[in-house]
Amino acid sequence: MDLTNIAYLLGFVLLILIVSLFIKDDSAHSKSHTNLKLRKTKRTYNSFSQNVEKSKMDTNFENIISFLENEVKLRYGKNKIEKDYQDDLFQAFGVLRERHGYEIKYESKNGRHRVDFSVNDSIGIELKVHRGGAQVKKELFNQLTDYANYYPKMIGIVVNVSDKDAPSKIRDDIYCKMKQQNVISQSNYYIIILNILSR
């Protein structure tokens, strides 16, 4: 081979390498555009838009939230403690088990952590009784952030037996703390206030 043929051969190999790099970059670029499109279509659970296809876990999450907000009514008891309200809620969850076939565990243990309820081992539910003050808000925040390591979705329930604090104020305080700390994505937790007055 003479020098000209070797130069052409090297030029051709170099051209192939450059084109293959552009093809890889272009395919990675198109994948990132696809991912962007997918990210834009993901919905937040607080909006409950029905236009976007959801995963089974998302559907389960919404079903549980809807059930808790619209169908669960807990009764006040003068001597009731948190455990009593948990027992009442576990009884109410029988409807979800029948309706959707969910596997609901009471005091589900994961390592040294024990969440009040777990649904299909993917949604954790923590219940607290609010009698006034800020203690319950702090405890619920700490537990939700701890248990989020074990459950992709978390629901915090505050049973409000105090007539001092409005349900919206309690919910807003917890959401504000969760947003400030930014430990869990907003689409992965939900706070429900069940208002129970002694009267």
Residue 35 has pLDDT above 50, yes or no: no
Give the Cα separation of 86 and 106 in Å (integer): 9
Structural domain boundaries in the chain: 1-41, 56-195
Provide the CA 131 distance to its chain's centre, in angstroms. 26
Diameter of the chain by CA atoms? 102
pLDDT range class, residue 76, cuts 50, 70, 90: confident
CATH of segment(s) 56-195: 3.40.50
Tell me what pLDDT residue 137 has: 86
In angstroms, the CA 128 to CA 81 distance is 10
184: amino acid identity, one letter: I
